Amino acid sequence: MKLVLGVDIGGTFTDVFALDPQAGRARIAKVASTPADPSRAFVEGLGAALAMQGAGFEAAATIVHGTTVGTNALLERKVARCGLITTAGFADVLEMRRRDRPSTWGLWGRFEPLIARDLRVGVRERTLANGMVREPVDADELRAAAERLLAAGCEALCVFFINSYANPANEARALECLRAVWPNEHVTASHEILPEVREFERASTASLNAALQPVVGRYVERIESSLAERGTRAELLIVQSNGGLMSVQDTRRFPIRTALSGPAAGVIACAHIATSAGWPDVITGDVGGTSFDVSLIADGRIAQTAQQSIAFGMVVRTPMIEIQTIGAGGGSLARVDVSGLLQVGPQSAGSSPGPACYGLRGHDDTLGPTVTDANVVLGRINPQRPIGALPSLDVDAARQAIARHVGEPLGLSPEAAAEAILTVANANMAGAMRLVSIERGHDPTRFAYMPFGGGGALHVCAMMREVGIRAGLIPRYPGVSSALGCAIADMRHDFVQTLNRPLSRLDGYELHEQIRRLSERGGEALAAAGVPFVRVVRRVELDMLYQGQTHTVAAELDDAAIDGPRDALGDAVVHAFEHAYRQAFGRTLAGVPMRVLNLRVAMIGERPKFDLSALAPEPADTRREPIGERRVHHDGRWWQTPVFERLALPVDFTLDGPALFEQPDTTIWLEPGFSARVDALGNLIVRTTDA
């Protein structure tokens, strides 16, 4: 037996999806996360999933991990002490940023770069924007700078020289000198991370990568050590923010590429499930313990972006799945602020002490109730069957927390206060969904809503109602979708090259050669991974804009245009840009010269996909009758509600709400006025009863 395992570590739970490709059989496990050392939950979850498959650690062939270790380290600023060696006179690039501010309408704000001012050292060197080296870097000055930073306690080092994207010679020379004197491997040069114009974005991405190297490196080392102790020789791969996989060696060198690793894996799973079920247009919503992560899939294509802010001033410019994140998960804390308004999130109770209903807070009643507490008090979560192998939940503790922190200040009963908490949380989540749909020019009525994560299915009807979405698509195992995405993710390598010239000066032969060179690098990287692929796909984009503009749009070139006549490539570029610009802004600008800023090439090695029909319920195991009933509070009154074992429902089973569907990884709340049907793959399709 050779198993493929996907592991996703969240703020509250660690999820594992164990797949036997030969037998087409899958098993899931969900264990409590261990924030002090996430690798403990990683190994515990693996062991639980393997046991369900009747196997030990030696049966694992491939382990794919989606991690938020890097993201959390940046958000909490728990990164390594890092030094920066830069061009003299440019030590303040990280602090100046783009002269933005934390509050759009405020005239003040405060920001401290991850690298303090006294740890940024300037050295004499200069490369011009045309790539000419006007002043070489001096090796003695570099060594003196490194010794100064080591004496200041730096564990990691970033090298960032102006215009190194145009010619990396000075940075490469500096890297060679510094690695000879630096006592560890944690040295990053900006041209290795982002060989692209825009000095702040390059400096920010490179410095964040350097600061993460020791943190992520130690974490990966603990996982490898734990796996080795248990006798597994499985290949360990890590999910990147762009949805592709990379090796452990690359993860140590480029940890910044894992900044949104965990949420990205969930979107990959949703894309595969939705297209397999005949729903190419979906908005995904991952409700975990801490956050609500939203993404959009149109025509089966996952939305990608070249840049994201992890927090204010911490800009990461690297290809990644476009995900909008807000603090609205099951553990998000509710409170009444000084103005008397109810707020939910972004602070979270996490897995320890967790929601009040977990019973882990002792006599400390200073923490407020959470979204999970509200769902428990309203009867939507069965306190005797919580997810993640938790013991029974304490309903009274949840009720008391809601009454004290929300009900009494607002003059509401515990039930009314719990509904108010969910109303605010749902409004926050709906706002994030509008941001990736309406504000991007998409009509949400075209899309289905696809909730996942442990808490997503509890809010599916509320999200459909709030945003006006036509249907809900709940996957077979929504609580472990990110782990499933890890198991089926493809290998991917992205490359970028700045061209920065008017389109009129772009030679088709030269562009074709640049594409060929980057494609070969990507092909070599895929081959070195030693992973079997179904096929290799190339995606080529140009970052383009009209002369005088600042922001670019991505113009995609297909293989037919790239491999066609070289002298016709320019016309293909014009057509691709005008199509992309028209889609983004509804028009083009006739007569305005076009400019090409960057060339991007992605090489994708597609791994075998899991046949989702294996997840569909077996006829012999199905059951249509409810397993019980429970009172659920909704819209100001109690409803006597049937409870079903979701995984036992047969294909084409149909039911009108209210109803509850329970399974080991989540609970689904079907409101009155909505209906649900089980499709051929075991997904639950939700619609309004008048649809």
* pTM attached to this predicted model: 0.86
Distance, CA of 353 to CA of 364 (rounded, Å): 10
pLDDT at 630: 95
Beta-strand pair 659-663/637-645: parallel
At 545 the three-state DSSP class reads: strand
pLDDT higher at 290 or 61: 61
Average pLDDT score, the chain: 90
598-611 average pLDDT score: 89
- Encode pLDDT of 174-186 as tens digits: 999 999 999 999 9
DSSP 3-state of 48: helix
Q: What confidence score (pLDDT) does residue 13 get?
A: 81
Burial readout 35-59 (b: 16 or more C-beta within 10 A, e: otherwise): eeebbbbbbbbbbbbbeebebebeb
Can you tell me the distance from the alpha carbon of 432 to that of 434, in angstroms, rounded to the nearest whole number? 5
The answer, yes or no, to whether residue 110 has pLDDT greater than 80, is: no
Q: Are 353 and 363 in contact (CB under 8 A)?
A: no
Q: Over range 306-328, report the average pLDDT.
A: 83
In angstroms, the CA 457 to CA 327 distance is 17
More confident residue, 633 or 243: 633
pLDDT for residue 108 = 67
Name the pLDDT band for 665 (thresholds 50, 70, 90).
confident
Q: For the segment 217-265, what is each residue's pLDDT rounded down to a tens digit?
A: 999 999 999 999 998 888 899 999 988 998 899 999 999 998 888 788 8
Token reading at 405? 């922190």
Q: For residue 127, what are its two tokens? A: 């490369």
Helix, coil or strand: residue 291 = coil
Grade residue 206 by pLDDT with cuts at 50, 70 and 90: very high
Burial of 162 (0-12, 13-18, 19+ CB in 10 A): buried
Tens-digit pLDDT profile for residues 189-202: 999 999 988 899 99
What is the C-alpha to C-alpha distance for residues 284 and 324, in angstroms, rounded to an integer?
10
151: exposed, middle or buried (C-beta count within 10 Å: 0-12, 13-18, 19+)? exposed
Integer Cα distance of 462 and 427 in angstroms:
9
| Number of residues that make up the chain | 691
Long-range CB contact pairs, 127-132, < 8 A, 24+: 127/161, 127/162, 127/163, 127/164, 127/166, 127/167, 127/169, 127/170, 128/163, 128/166, 129/163, 129/166, 130/166, 131/163, 131/166, 131/167, 132/167
Hey, what are 123's tokens?
């050295």
Predicted local distance difference test score (pLDDT) of residue 33: 83
pLDDT at 83 over 80: yes
Give the long-range contacts of residues 307-310, CB within 8 A, separation 24 or more.
307/201, 308/241, 308/259, 308/260, 310/71, 310/74, 310/75, 310/208, 310/259
Closest to 397 (Cα-Cα) out of 419, 421, 372, 422: 372
Is the predicted pLDDT of residue 285 greater than 90, yes or no? Answer: yes
The mean per-residue pLDDT over the stretch 353-381 comes to: 90
- The residue type at 636: G
pLDDT in tens, 492-526: 999 998 999 999 998 888 899 999 999 999 999 89
Give the span between the Cα atoms of 663 and 30, in whole angstroms.
12
